[in-house]
Structure 1
Amino acid sequence: MNSDSALRCANLDDGDAVVALWRVCGLTRPWNDAAADFRRAVNDASADILCLEKGGNLLATVMVGYDGHRGWVYYLGVSPDARMQGLGRDMMEAAEIWLRERDAPKIQLMVREDNEQAIGFYEALGYEVQPVVTIGRRLE
């Protein structure tokens, strides 16, 4: 990160800006309430949303959490007009530092299987596609 940008943890006042960035980055889905995801992370001692700003403008975010067994990364997004400057890499480095500070032994994240660009990004950072199947159920 360059010296004129600032990395900080989000607070409740950041919700609209953060969710707007997630939307413009294509990270939200109609079946997930991104605003509720934001509020849960900000209010949970085992999670944070890291925000990168420059000149008061939100450039990038990453949601990070530790469940006591593994570290998790969600909602890594870089503003479209700030891409290709290494900010995604910087945000993943910040997420890794956050998780190391909590002694997380492993980092997990989920990427849709057809998102080849994201998979390539994470592979370039040393992450590997894991031979697992994600099984889930909505609790509604």
Structure 2
Amino acid sequence: MQLRPFSPADESSVIQLWSDCGLTRRWNDPVKDIARKLTVQPELFLVGEIDGAIVASGMFGFDGLRGWVHYLAVAPGRQGEALGRQLMREGERLLTAMGCPKINLQVRTGNERVIGFYRALGYEADDTVSLGKRLIPDD
């Protein structure tokens, strides 16, 4: 898999990938999420290609204290091929180069398969409660 920064021409393929992976929600407009990411550290929005097809994506970011991972996705037919591991390694490398001391991510409750994926990469559950407040509605 060839990793590279997201390009605007990738938008429809990436949104389809997210949809195929069950990452989209009506309250998070993927077009708006992509536009938002492109205003902050766009070089940390990565896609993975095999034979010209987008098969993986991940949005990484560093807020000065912690790194974050959003929209990590691997095409359902390509899961189990270590593509997600490769994408996470590259995201970790880029964040480490920026001086990022720790990465946080969120997984929806009950998604044990994905939690297992991250645990296999060395991620552990933090003793925290994730809270959120929508400031700008997408729907």
> Do the two structures share a fold, i.e. TM-score over 0.5?
yes
Quote how far apart the aligned CAs of 1:43 are.
Answer: 2.7
Gaps (5+ residues) in structure 1?
none
AA matched with 1:71: G
Residue pair 1:47, 1:65 contacting (<8 A) in 2 also: no
Query: Bigger CA drift: 25-34 or 44-53?
Result: 44-53
Gaps (5+ residues) in structure 2?
none
Indicate whether 1:44 and 2:37 are aligned: no
Paired with 2:79 and 2:110, the residues of 1 have a C-alpha distance of 21
Going from structure 1 to structure 2, the CA distance change for 1:123 and 1:51 (only over 3 Å counts) comes to: same
Going from structure 1 to structure 2, the CA distance change for 1:47 and 1:107 (only over 3 Å counts) comes to: farther
Q: Which runs of 4+ in 1 moved over 6 A?
A: none
TM-score norm. by structure 1 comes to 0.92
Paired with 2:39 and 2:132, the residues of 1 have a C-alpha distance of 24
Structure 1 residues 89-109: Cα deviation after superposition (integer angstroms, max 9, x where no partner): 111101101101111010000
TM-score norm. by structure 2 comes to 0.92
User: Across the two proteins, how many residue pairs are aligned to each other?
Assistant: 136
Q: RCO (CA 8 Å, sep 6+): is it higher in 1 or 2?
A: 2
Task: Find the residue that maps to 1:68 and give its secondary structure.
Answer: coil
Residue in 2 aligned with 1:8? Answer: 4
Residue in 1 aligned with 2:76? Answer: 80
Query: Bigger CA drift: 38-47 or 92-101?
Result: 38-47
Structure 1 residues 74-126: Cα deviation after superposition (integer angstroms, max 9, x where no partner): 11100111111111111110110110111101000001121111111101111
Question: Over the residues paired in the alignment, what is the CA RMSD in angstroms?
Answer: 1.3
Structure 1 residues 49-74: Cα deviation after superposition (integer angstroms, max 9, x where no partner): 11110111111111101111100001
